[in-house]
Structure formats: structure tokens, C-alpha cells
Amino acid sequence: MQNITTTLKKIFYLWKRSQVPEKQPTKIPLIDKLIIFLICILISIISSYKYLLISPLYISDIFSWFLTFTEILISSGILILVSRRENPTISSRQIILIISFLLAVQSSKLLFASNISPLSIIIPPALIISQGMGSITALTWVTIASFNWPNPAVAINNNLFFILLVCASVVSLLGGRIRSRAQLLQLSIFVPIGAFLSQWILIGKNKIALFDKQEFVFSNGDIFSDSLLLGIVMLFTILFIPIFESIFGLLTKARLLELADKEKPLIRRLSLEAPGTFEHTLLICGLAEEATRMIGGDIDLIKTGALYHDVGKLHAPNWFIENQDGSKNPHDEIDDPIKSAEVLQAHVDEGLKYARKNRLPKPIANFIPEHQGTLKMGYFFHKAKEKNIKINENDFRYNGPVPQSKETAILMLADGCEAALRAMNINASDNEALETITKIIYSRQKDGQLDDSNLSKGEIFLIKRAFLNVWKRIRHRRIQYPTVKNNTFS
């Protein structure tokens, strides 16, 4: 019996060790909390106030009002919690956007009652939410927006309600995965066609009204107008998504892929003015992508973040070893470790300035300071010590913060391993490469750089294996292929 208890305790201990503390969502300022709360109250009032207009007013009506009011308030709270759970870095602006959509939907139901197509008021916001905040948030929003109809309930056909739920769920699920504007366009064409066909089958052929001016806008129940209106509203939504992206800081997959385009002016400048940094960036992209795939992280995010992580080096490319190309090293010329450390820190500060100028979304800009964290600039620190200069260790550390997400932490590790792997002998064994990777990762772990990243021990193990796989690929590329000159066949 004691053995079983000890084994169970051991399993529990191992399980606990393998877990990492849940990341705390970002703090929302008090004023924003107040605004969010007021909007939630407003949604609850407009969804329930009609109960109080009944005359004579009975206690049961007041009870019904109270019940509906509380239900909507709690639903809005759940929606906010789910969105924060799915996106720990969600901003208050984005939360305001989600609940404002709910407010708009509840108001439209009340204003237009049974005259408005539920498909056109619920599906387009679901598309924006799924694109910017993820599928789970969008599904929760759809559930709340579909089930809470202000009293007197709009006479919504059961079949139509079913079609609405299916279409909105499809849009929520696919919207979070869509990776290009073209796919978005396809979705906005196929969903209305799907809605049209299912309405035709489930509701009936006799309700098809071809283009009828009056029925077109307020068209609940008229199948053709319903679906056509949905198609048009969805196309407009796609047109407006970039505006939502810039106003509310939404980071959609399509925006990420657009930013990852190497023809973007900032990246073109990096390749022309700091070719060494550009090459380093490309190799890091490979390492980081492989590691993120291994742990199931956001590959598109890290690929784009990696591309921009060192853009700050554009302010003085020749101060960084990868761009020196055998020429004089300016650090040797100034021979001042403190000044040199300032130049290194400047690549982070200038990078953030470039990010602001180029309107990079915050999750991408975060890669700039977090890839360096609060790492020590060891080389210049030791140089200062050798020169017996009175120094403070913090002057030789980057300003941080340390990586706040798994993706920025992976980038920090890839940044650390890149130079070492590139410099490794072509004949080095896998074990030697793994040893080098482990040493670099361990030094960052010991320095507390990974403390806020949420990476578990198992994930760090997978990251090491991923880096090793990329190293094997690099080694393979560097093996000279036989040529005709060598009297071999190719």
C-alpha cells in the first residue's frame, strides 16, 4: 500500500514538474475596465428592458427581466474571459471591439426585429473575431449572439437558426486558419452559397424571392435575398478587415504573411545595407520555424517576428561582426567597452523605432527587445573588467524584457545558437552539435531568460532536437557535391 502511495506521489511530483505556471493575461487599465463594464451593462439593458414595459407589470415579469439581464451580463463576462484565455496578450481595444460587436448585434435585433436577416448580422463579425482573436473566441461570441434574442423574441425559424449556427461555426473555425485574402474571398462566396442551398432544402423552394428592392435589405426568410445580402456584407467585411487590423491592432494570418514578404521595404533595406544580418536572419528563421513546429507554436508569427528581430542593426550595420567582411572593426577603433555596449543596446532601441515607423503590429515588435532579453554582453563586459574600468554589470546587460512568450523565447535561443552552429566544423558529430546547443540553451535558462516564457522542460528538449535537425540540414548543404571536373557523374 505504501509503495502505491509513494509511486502515486512520485507520478504527481513528476507531472507537476513537467507543468509550467499559466501565463497571466496582460493587465487592463482601470478606465478600460470601466468602459468594458459599461458596454456589458448596456448590452444587458437593451436585451432585457422590454420585460419592464409590459403593463400591468407583475412580479414574474420583473423576475424574468432580472434573469435575462443577469444571463446576458454573465455571458458577456464569459466571452471576455474566453478571449483573454485564448489570447493572453489581448489588448483592451480588442476586448472593446468584441463586445461592441455584441452590442451592435443586440441593437440590430431590437431595432429591426424580424425584418433583418440573422445570417447577415452574426456571420460577418464572427469572421473578423476569428481572424483577429482566434476560433474559440469567435465560437463563444457566435453562441452568445445567436442564443440571446431580446424579448419579444424575433420569430426566427428553427431551420434558419440551425443554418445560422452551422454557417457561423464554419466561418469561426475556418476564419482562424485562413492564411490569405484569396481564401477569405472563397469563404465569403461559398458560405452564402451553402446558406442558400441549405435554406432551399430545409425551408422550402416557395420562399425564393429574386431581387426585390424592399425585401433585399430587410429580408429575413426570403432565401435568395438572405444569402445575397450575406455575401455582400461578407465581401464588405473583407474590404474593411485591414482597417480593423490597424485600428484595433488585430494580427490576422493574412497580415502576418504580408509582413513576411521579403520585398517589404524594410527587409529589402536589410538585405542591401546589412547583408550579413540578413543572412543571419534567414538562418534564424529556419531554426525558429523548425523548433516552433516541434512544440506546436505559431509558425507564421515566429517566421515574421524572426525576419524583423534585428532590423535595428540598420542604424549602424558595420558595427556588427556579421557585416564587417574582414574590414576594420569600429569597436577596436573606439576601444571603449561602455560605448560599444551602448551601440549593441541601440540595435534594440532603433529596432523599436523602425517598428513604430513601419507600423509593425505589437506581437511582431515584441520580438525586437525580447530576443535579447536582459542578456549580458559578455565580450565587452570582460573587456571592461580587463581594463579595470569601474563598471556596473547592468550597464552590460540589454534592457529587456526577457521573452514573454514561447515564440520570442525560441527566437532568443535560435539567435544564440545560430553563430555557434554556423561556425561548427563540417565534420562535427551530431553529439558535438547537440552539446553546443545544450550549453547555449542552459546558459540562458540559468540566467533566468526563459522564466516568463512558459516553455516547459519537455518543450526545451524538443527545441534542442529541432535545432539539431536544422544543423544536420546545414551540414548536408555544405557537403561538396561531386562535379564533372572530379570525373564523377551528377
Residues in touch with Fe ion (CB under 5 A): 310, 415
Residues 390, 388: Cα–Cα separation, whole Å:
6
CB of 3 to Fe ion, least distance (A): 52
Instruction: Tell me whether residue 43 or residue 314 sits nearer to Fe ion (CB atom).
Output: 314
Strand, helix or coil for residue 435: helix
Closest to Fe ion by CB, 65 or 398 = 398
**Residue 253, all three cell numbers:** 494570418
Q: Which is nearer to Fe ion, 245 or 415 (CB)?
A: 415
Q: Of 219, 404, 409, 447, which Cα lies nearest the Cα of 306?
A: 409
Put residue 264 in one of left, alpha, beta given phi > 0 → left and psi -120 to 50 → alpha.
beta
CA distances from 443 to 369, 376, 414, 450 (A): 19, 11, 13, 10
Give the Cα separation of 168 and 191 in Å (integer): 9
Q: 32 is written with which cell numbers?
A: 478600460
Nearer to Fe ion, 300 or 310 (CB): 310
Q: Which is nearer to Fe ion, 248 or 354 (CB)?
A: 354
- CB 373 to Fe ion: min, Å: 10
Nearer to Fe ion, 68 or 408 (CB): 408
3-state secondary structure of 419: helix
The Cα 78–Cα 71 span in angstroms is 10
User: Between residues 101 and 278, which has the closer beta carbon with respect to Fe ion?
Assistant: 278
What are the cell numbers at 244? 480593423
Are 140 and 214 in contact by the 8 Å Cβ rule? The answer is: no
Task: Give the type of residue at 324.
Answer: Q
Cell representation of residue 251: 494580427
Cis peptide before 330 (omega within 30 of 0): no
